Structure 1
Amino acid sequence: MQIPFEPTVFGYQLNSHLILEYLAFFIGFRYYVYLKRKQTDAISSNNRLSIILGAALGALIGSRLVGVLENPMIEFTTQNLLQLVNTKTIMGGLFGGLLGVELIKKIIGEKQSSGDLFVFPIIVGIFIGRIGCFLSGINEFTYGKVTNSVFGMDLGDGLLRHPTSLYELVFLVILYFGMKWVQKNSNLKNGDLFKLFMLSYFGFRFGIEFLKPNVFYVFGLSSIQILCVICWLYYYKFNHQNLKNAS
């Protein structure tokens, strides 16, 4: 199979990344609906709908904003502006969605934690989306630096690069089953599973960014890594409390 993988069907060249991106949203949402039916939701249907809308709006804004911040020095031409509008990142989507949910919950007065139901659908959705990123090769800015290691792959430009999307797929499988184990064997409070997911995923992304050819740095960190630090600071109280309980 050649990468980028863009098969032609009935004379039309398919965008595998776009197809898998839509599939990720569809399967992730259906998985969420399935999980919601299996357990009692402490949040009313109306409030849950408001929370989902808040998450969607926050994710939309956050994914685009952080996507732009990955290369803020780009020249503002018409062509570049169109590219920036279409640029998005799951990291901004996750953190923007988190902020959108918290804002909506304050508006509607909802006190219950709402994130645990989203954990596994999000992981599955990211997994499917990352397959699309891998198949897109260098057409998507998710590839790694040039490497001489045994893991190097030609992603479409004739150079051996770190297949960071594949690394993430392996991590997501481990994360999925790890979260399942934690859910079954730990007495976490409502909302703690989502916090653990965010801390774990953002921690992984902080590390994997060192293998990517980023072009914009602040204090030696990429925009994504700075967002990871912000996320960890956001959950500092949770980290501190759990470390205290463990000691």
Structure 2
Amino acid sequence: MIPRIGPIPSHELFVALGVLAAAAVFFVEARRRGQRDERLLQVVMGALVGGALFMRLGTWFQHVDLRDNASLVEQWAYGNRSILGGLVGAWLGVHVAKRVAGYRLRTGDLFAPAVALGMAVGRIGCLLTEKPGTPTGGGWGITLDPGAAAATGGVAGVPLHPSFVYEIAFHLAAFVALWLWLRRKDLPPGETFVWYVAAYGIFRFLVEFVRGNEVVWAGLTRPQLFLAVTVPLVVVRIAWRWRSGAYRVVPSPTPVEVAL
């Protein structure tokens, strides 16, 4: 059984709470930065629609022979949900919505802290409903009872890595860094989201070793194969921008007093 809080499945509840938390942070940050254009609502809707579509359908292509994959209807109803697919879909949805709405300002600095906090809240639902991770000898492991083990595919009585706790801690730390430190830095518009994605991609690649997902090739899981291709591209982009001088802070000119 899926753990529930009242009549609502706990996974869906915390995903919804994560979306609400992300939306609140987004609009607070937009107000702080003076971005009050009504078209931002369309941009947020684009992120939500794109994220939802790719989260549900992002894991459809799992076999080279297309006949071995589920139909799109089956994938939507019963397939695995992918956070990485959701992030890609949200990114695409934002760009499509901005193009349709004619909104030209960068929005990455608004989305970065919002996504970090939303992910931290949403992952609580994963912690309550999914297999925590691989076996660990550490005293911090999570032990499943027989019912939870049967529901999640785990092993009862064996301490498992609390991989979702690791991820919640990462996103909370990222939110604090983005909200209290990076937002005060003179970075080019939109760059904080790029940094956040790069950091999360590296973290997620490493935490996959204790997540317990299916190994499909060369000792790596499907998320790791995806990240092995995409994260280097993001890191190279940051390095290129750095070498081109995009991150150099130009000091403000010192006021000169004029004698009258």
Same fold (TM over 0.5): yes
Bigger CA drift: 193-202 or 226-235?
Answer: 226-235
Q: Which amino acid is 1:132 matched to?
A: G
- Report how far residue 34 of structure 1 moved: 2.6
Is 1:119 the counterpart of 2:108? The answer is: no
Higher share in helix: 1
- What stretches of structure 1 of length at least 5 have no aligned partner? none
Q: C-alpha distance in 1, partners of 2:101/2:25?
A: 26
Q: Which amino acid is 1:101 matched to?
A: V
For residues 208-219 of structure 1, what are the structure 2 equivalents within 5 Å? Answer: 208-219=207-218
Q: Which of 3, 9, 13 is residue 19 of structure 1 equivalent to?
A: 13
- Report how far residue 224 of structure 1 moved: 1.4
Q: Deviations over 1:25-49 (max 9, x none)?
A: 12221232233233311x8422x23
Q: C-alpha distance in 2, partners of 1:109/1:61?
A: 23
Q: C-alpha distance in 1, partners of 2:212/2:63?
A: 12
Cross-structure match for 1:150: 139
Q: Residue 59 of structure 2 aligns to a residue in which SS?
A: helix
Q: Which amino acid is 2:240 matched to?
A: H
Q: CA RMSD in A?
A: 3.2
User: How many residues are aligned here?
Assistant: 233
Cross-structure match for 2:55: 63
TM-score by length of 1: 0.78
Which structure ranks higher in relative contact order (CA pairs < 8 Å, sequence separation ≥ 6)? 1
Percent identity of equivalent pairs: 23
Q: C-alpha distance in 2, partners of 1:81/1:210?
A: 28
TM-score by length of 2: 0.75
- Report how far residue 166 of structure 1 moved: 0.7
- Report how far residue 191 of structure 1 moved: 0.3
- What stretches of structure 2 of length at least 5 have no aligned partner? 150-155, 249-260
- Report how far residue 52 of structure 1 moved: 2.2
Q: Residue 140 of structure 2 aligns to a residue in which SS?
A: coil
Q: C-alpha distance in 2, partners of 1:83/1:110?
A: 31
Q: Which of 17, 22, 46 is residue 28 of structure 1 equivalent to?
A: 22
Report if the CA contact (8 A) 1:113-1:191 is conserved: yes
Q: Which amino acid is 2:90 matched to?
A: G
Question: Residues 82 and 176 of structure 1: is their aligned pair in 2 closer, same or farther, counting only changes over 3 Å?
Answer: closer
- Report how far residue 195 of structure 1 moved: 0.8
Question: Residues 61 and 4 of structure 1: is their aligned pair in 2 closer, same or farther, counting only changes over 3 Å?
Answer: closer
